[in-house]
Amino acid sequence: MAKKEFSFSDAMVEIDKILKEIENGNLNIDKLSGEVKQASELIRQCQKKLRTTEEEVNNIFKDLI
Amino acid sequence: MTDKLSLSELQLIIKDSIYLAMPDMYWVMAEISEIRENYAGHCYLELIEKHPDDKNVRARVKAIIWSNRYRFLKSLFENVTGEQLRSGMKVLVKIKVDYHEIYGLSLIISDIDPSYTAGEMALKRQLIIKRLEEEGVLMMNKELGFPFVPQRIAVISSASAAGYLDFTRHLKENSFGYVFYTALFEAIMQGTETEQSIINALERISVNAALFDVVAIIRGGGSQSDLSWFDNYKIAYYVTQFPLPVITGIGHEKDLSVTDLVAFRSLKTPTAVADFLIGSVSEAENYLNELSTKIAENTRTIITRYRDITESFRTKLIPVARLALSDRREQLSNRIIEIINIGKEYIIRAGFLPKNLSSRLISATGSFIFANKTCTERNRLDLISFTMSTLENVKSRLSGLENTLNILDPVNVLKRGFTLTSRDGVIIKSAGEIHEEDTIDTQFSDGQIKSKVILPQMNQEPQLQVKHTNNY
């Protein structure tokens, strides 16, 4: 697999980090929009991972058995 | 040694002797080394006793449970222990020694004490647990981190097992619409081959451990299930050392096997394992939603806070801006008055009105405004409209000035009948400057005449005389 696999847990850690920054109020208003955009993109990818079948995984599993 | 015995006579003597010597029933502890049921429902066993240390067989005997007893004892035993009678099991049996002239010595079993076997199994299990504990591995699988989303599952089961089919169907039909990926690693889930078969499956999974989130060891439930195959040191040890969390669902209602005990999580049925996995993913999604809500809420709070700050700035700024504006306005009107005065002076001095004066005024005002661009747009517009109206004012005042100027223009004065008198090119402003016989020039608007003075006469008021000398 050449492409880097999206990791749900890494994404969660990243989202959590962004939330902490926002909560602590350390975030500059100019950076806020960028961070929120990044968080929502990660959330979208996580949601997608839960419900979208990756044929790649199915194929790998088929080859294993 | 005179009498000779037939073989049957001998066997009968042995049979009688045994019967006389051992007329009672005895409770005997033994290990089953072989067990089989024949077509008639009778159960044939081989019982042994092993040396506790070197495990060598130190006693061996055949035993029989007649079919009428066997049916009853079998179900009693399974009810109490949850296990089937099988080889390797330790049993306490009530026997009568029997000797048959053809088949020889055998023990006829009339009863079995299942609680003895249960106790033996528990003891065996305790020993395995103790060993794992001493090796410090008992809790190792439980201490692994559980993945956020256990979507990729390595399943150890037999393909034909109902439990396996229930498991995959349950996962697939989950009401949340989550995706799960399963790969089956087939294994024998019951009998003497269980140990090696499950270890092989675990080894195959561990080679590709990175592809999976969890391992599920599942087996169909039911009363036939034989838990003791999983009271196995080797299987349990492999599970403790496995790099992925192992979830078991090997279908036993009453007890936990050692494998269940060391697994990350043990559940009663394959369906329960599926529910657990679905629940874990759902928890992850809930957490995700929670994060998402918190981010939205906090962002809204920050934006509101900034908006309030901006609003308070604006509120504070307006009066300041108004003040600054009125200052500017005053300055501007002063400048305009200055400009008007300069313009007036200029007009009066030069005696004419430069055509581009008003446009210069506008551009000067424009650059003045430009220099004060720090005013807000609204203020700027105020200034412009104020300036434009002021300019209108200036224009109308200028055009009044122009009228006055036209009236004062010498050409227009001459046109109205006044004349200009000069002598030798010098304008004469007083009758007293003219003497008798002087030649003077009279300038009209449309020409001039030369004339000789006959009688110069001074008036008391020169202006009146000028008026008088003109033919108005």
Which DSSP letter does residue B375 get? Answer: S
Q: Got the DSSP string for B281-318? A: HHHHHHHHHHHHHHHHHHHHHHHHHHHHHHHHHHHHHH
For residues B466 and B431, give the distance between their C-alpha atoms in angstroms, rounded to a whole number. 8
> How far is it, in rounded angstroms, from Cα B447 to Cα B444?
5
| Rounded Cα distance, B36 and B84, in Å | 12
Please say whether the beta carbons of B186 and B204 come within 8 A.
no
Q: Which residues contact A61 (CB under 8 A, 6 or more apart)?
A: B152, B181, B182, B183, B211
Interface test with B, best of A1, A4, A6, A8 (most B CBs within 10 A): A8
Q: Which two tokens stand for residue B231?
A: 């009271």
State which H helix or E strand residue B120 sits in: helix B114-134
Comparing C-alpha atoms, which of B84, B270, B118 is closest to residue B192? B84
CB-CB under 8 Å, A15 with B149: no
Euclidean distance between CA atoms B89 and B34, whole angstroms: 10
CA angle at residue B238 from B233 to B241, to 5 degrees?
A: 125
* Per-residue tens of pLDDT for chain B, all 472 residues: 568 999 999 999 999 999 999 999 999 999 999 999 999 999 999 999 999 888 889 999 999 999 999 999 999 998 888 788 988 889 999 999 999 999 999 999 999 999 998 888 888 888 999 999 999 999 999 999 898 899 999 999 988 777 888 899 999 999 999 999 999 999 988 888 889 999 999 999 999 899 999 999 998 754 445 777 888 899 999 999 999 999 999 876 667 889 999 999 999 889 999 999 999 999 999 998 998 888 888 888 888 888 888 888 888 878 887 888 888 888 888 888 887 788 777 667 765 555 566 666 666 666 665 665 555 556 666 656 666 666 666 566 555 555 555 555 566 667 767 777 888 888 787 888 888 888 888 888 788 888 888 887 777 554 434 333 444 3
Separation between Cα atoms, residue B261 and residue B451, nearest integer Å: 147
Please provide the DSSP assignment of B324-367 as one string.
HHHHHHHHHHHHHHHHHHHHHHHHHHHSS--TTHHHHHHHHHHH
Residue with tokens 């838990």: B227
Q: Which residues of chain B lie closer than 8 angstroms to A57, CB-CB?
A: 152, 181
**Smallest Cβ distance to B302: which of A22, A39, A51?**
A22
Q: Residue B468 has what pLDDT?
A: 39
Residue B124 CB neighbour total at 10 angstroms? 18
The domain segmentation of chain A, as residue ranges, is 8-64
For the four alpha carbons of B24, B28, B34 and B37, in that order, the dihedral sign comes to positive
Question: CA-to-CA distance for B254 and B266, rounded, in angstroms?
Answer: 13
> ipTM of the predicted structure?
0.87
**B134: which 2 tokens?**
């001493």
CATH number of B137-268: 3.40.50
Cβ neighbours of B152 in A, within 8 Å: 57, 61
B306 vs A: CB within 8 A = yes
Rg (CA), chain A: 16
Residue B154: burial class (beta carbons within 10 Å; 0-12, 13-18, 19+): buried
Contact between chains at A22 and B179 (C-beta distance less than 8 A): no
Assign B448 to helix, strand or coil: strand
Answer yes or no: do A51 and B287 touch at CB < 8 A: no
Q: CB of B215 within 8 Å of any CB in chain A? A: no
Asked whether the beta carbons of B102 and B139 are under 8 A apart, the reply is no
Q: How does DSSP assign B201-220, residue by residue?
A: HHHHHHHTGGG-SEEEEE--
Q: Which residues pair with B157 in a beta bridge?
A: B186
d(CA B117, CA B122): 8
Strand ranges for B41-192 from DSSP E: 43-50, 57-65, 90-100, 104-112, 152-157, 181-186
**pLDDT at residue B347, as a whole number:** 67
Q: Which residue has the tokens 């010595």?
A: B105
CB B82 within 8 A of CB B254: yes
User: Residues 112 to 151 of B: which have CB under 8 A from any A CB?
Assistant: 147-149, 151
Closest CA to B44 of B109, B90, B100, B118: B109
Predicted local distance difference test score (pLDDT) of residue B162:
79
- CATH class of the region B7-132: mainly beta
Whether B47 contacts B63, CB under 8 Å: yes
Domain ranges of chain B: 7-132, 137-268, 309-408, 418-469
> In terms of C-beta density within 10 A (0-12 exposed, 13-18 middle, 19 or more buried), how is residue B13 classed?
exposed
Inter-chain touch A64–B211, beta carbons under 8 Å: yes
Sequential DSSP letters for B413-445: HHHTT--EEEETTEE---GGG--TT-EEEEE-S
Handedness of CA B89, B92, B93, B98 (dihedral sign): positive
Report how far residue B164's alpha carbon sits from residue B252's, in angstroms, rounded to the nearest whole number.
Answer: 15
**Contact call for residues B227 and B250 (beta carbons, < 8 A):** yes
Helix axes B270-350, B377-408, angle to 10 degrees: 10
Beta carbons of A53 and B177 less than 8 Å apart: no
List the one residue out of B77, B69, B63, B66 whose CA is nearest residue B33: B63
Q: Which of B183, B281, B302 sits opposite A50 (nearest CB)?
A: B281
CA distance B358 to B332: 16
Reported residue count of chain A is 65
Inter-chain contact B181–A19, Cβ cutoff 8 Å? no
Answer for the pair B185, B215: CB distance below 8 angstroms, yes or no: no
Say if residues B414 and B445 touch (Cβ distance below 8 Å). Answer: yes
